[in-house]
Amino acid sequence: MKRVVIVGGGISGLTVAYSLLNSHKLQVTDSRFDITVFESDNRTGGKIWTEKTDGFLCEKGANGFLDNKPQTLKLCNSLGIDPLRSNENSKKRYIFVNGQLNALPESPPAFIKSDLLSWRGKLRILFEYNAPKGPEDETVADFIIRRLGREALDKLIDPMASGIYAGDPYKMSMKSCFSKIKDLEQEHGGLIKALLKIRKEKKHLQKAPGEKVSVAPGGTLTSFFNGAQTITDTLTAQLGNSIHLGVSVHGIEKNGDMYRLYTSKDTVEADIVILASPAYATANILKDFDSDISKTLSDIPYPHVSVVCFGYKKEKVGHPLNGFGFLVPYIEGRKILGTLWDSSIFPNRAAEGYTLLRTMVGGAKAPEMATLSDEKIITLVFDELKPILDLKKDPDMVRIYRWEKAIPQYVLGHSRKLQLIEERLKNYPGLYLTGNAYKGIGMNDCIEHGYRLADEIISNFK
């Protein structure tokens, strides 16, 4: 029996633990895994954190996942929990441009008619067909400016980068953040060329009538009736006594074929160690074990982000909130990244007659905004939202959730960091790293990589 220690009880660590214990690749005659999960906090879930308060259901972090990745849906089925897909409102998204909300177009004709870009900006996008290929890796800003123009970057891609990563497109790596889009350029020579080729292939395969063809990822935002934490709570219940809360790991060393971990409780040994903690925490654990890996992990930045939830009686909000919410381009000079209308897209987010607004503040471009006092950040968000959503009075409910280190940033050179880590780990059989700091920040990414890692471990240690 192999002793496995997993450091970190977020979605990544929990998924690996569950998959190791429930893999179809394990036969009755296989040696089983003795699994221990150490979580330094007094709860599991990491950045997936749902709070029910005063009749509202607030998400401190991730509010769901796209249903376009089968592994997450398979995990839900295995756990016996029912995913809840967002309603039609989730398809209607807004960008705050030129001082007003503009609906994000859902088709080329709608885009032409929209006021999101000037006619010059729209015509510039047509030149994407002849834009040259870029280097293997470049910033998101360089990629978009070369292919679609600066106006498309400022008004479309910048708010998307803020909404997903709370990031700065002038620093983010295109290859690491939007690898599929970068691959389309490298493989087909451009996005329009890729779209035309995909459309031709779909037509050849007798595409179903009405099916949309797009180079962008599809899928519907999906969560659970009682919030995103449902999935981590269920995983935690399944793992039971394998999980040890309030136990932090301070260091690790090799002891023959085993690893010795120094925790806040005692010293433990393991055949296999999986570090599923945030990059900065993993760096601290490894600082005396492998300084190269530790330094590389320390160089992955995490900006400060605050999430501010406002609960309102519906009659106090003049806007109909008939959509997903809105994002704000940096050039607009506002003090928020955007606001999601959670109660408009999922049930059970607010009591009857109430609505829930969730606003993001801070991020890579303005981290100082997230560090303001409670009073100042509440005033800031209210002053920003009042003219946009026609707020009549102060909110009936306010909650502020602060993430000093929020979302890992895949800045230019991120792929080289991963290569260095991968090479160094070859020296340490049985030591693995996983989590959202490496190859995807979303729930889908963490779950998919968790299963892949479990399969790799099972294959290596049967």
d(CA 446, CA 462): 24
Percentage with pLDDT > 70 across the chain: 95
Q: Is the pLDDT of residue 92 over 90?
A: yes
Mean pLDDT, rounded, for 129-134: 92
pLDDT digits (tens, 9 = 90+) for 269-291: 999 999 999 999 999 999 999 99
User: What is the predicted pLDDT for the residue at 14?
Assistant: 98
- 3-state helix vs strand vs coil in the chain, percent to 5: 40, 20, 35
Of 211-225, 300-314, 374-388, give the lowest mean pLDDT range.
Answer: 211-225
Asked if residue 316 lies in contact with residue 389, where contact means CB atoms within 8 angstroms, the answer is no
Q: Write down all domains in the chain, each with its CATH number in brackets.
A: 2-46+230-301+410-460 (3.50.50.60), 50-89+303-403 (3.90.660.20), 117-204 (1.10.3110.10)
User: What is the predicted pLDDT for the residue at 204?
Assistant: 61
Confidence of residue 20 (pLDDT cuts 50, 70, 90): very high
User: What is the predicted pLDDT for the residue at 211?
Assistant: 46
Mean pLDDT, rounded, for 127-134: 92
- Token pair, residue 308, equals 């501010």
Q: Is the pLDDT of residue 386 over 70?
A: yes
Mean pLDDT, rounded, for 243-249: 98
- Angle at which helices 279-286 and 291-298 cross, to 10°: 160
d(CA 106, CA 92): 8
d(CA 124, CA 135): 21
In DSSP terms, 253 is beta-bridged to: 260
pLDDT digits (tens, 9 = 90+) for 45-63: 999 999 999 999 999 999 9
d(CA 222, CA 73): 10
Asked if residue 310 lies in contact with residue 385, where contact means CB atoms within 8 angstroms, the answer is yes
List, in sequence order, the alpha helices (H) in 269-413.
279-286, 291-298, 342-345, 374-389
Q: Is the pLDDT of residue 97 over 90?
A: yes
Classify residue 143 by burial, with Cβ atoms within 10 Å: 0-12, 13-18, 19+.
Answer: buried
Q: What is the gyration radius of the CA atoms in the chain, in angstroms?
A: 23
Confidence of residue 458 (pLDDT cuts 50, 70, 90): very high
- CA 58-60-66 angle, to 5 degrees, is 90
User: What is the predicted pLDDT for the residue at 39?
Assistant: 98
Mean pLDDT, rounded, for 318-336: 97
Mean pLDDT, rounded, for 328-356: 97
Confidence of residue 203 (pLDDT cuts 50, 70, 90): low
Confidence of residue 213 (pLDDT cuts 50, 70, 90): very low
User: What is the predicted pLDDT for the residue at 439?
Assistant: 96
CB neighbourhood size of 64 (10 A): 25
Torsion of CA 453, 459, 461, 462, to 10 degrees: 140
User: What is the predicted pLDDT for the residue at 111?
Assistant: 84
According to DSSP, the β-strands at 431-433 and 272-275 are parallel
Percentage with pLDDT > 90 across the chain: 86
Confidence of residue 267 (pLDDT cuts 50, 70, 90): very high
User: What is the predicted pLDDT for the residue at 108?
Assistant: 79
**Considering the chain, what is the average pLDDT of its residues?**
93
Confidence of residue 199 (pLDDT cuts 50, 70, 90): confident
User: What does the DSSP assignment read for 20-37?
Assistant: HHH-TT--TTSPPEEEEE
Of 103-107, 197-201, 288-292, 398-402, give the lowest mean pLDDT range.
Answer: 197-201
Per the rule left: phi > 0, alpha: psi between -120 and 50, beta: everything else, 208 is beta
Confidence of residue 215 (pLDDT cuts 50, 70, 90): very low
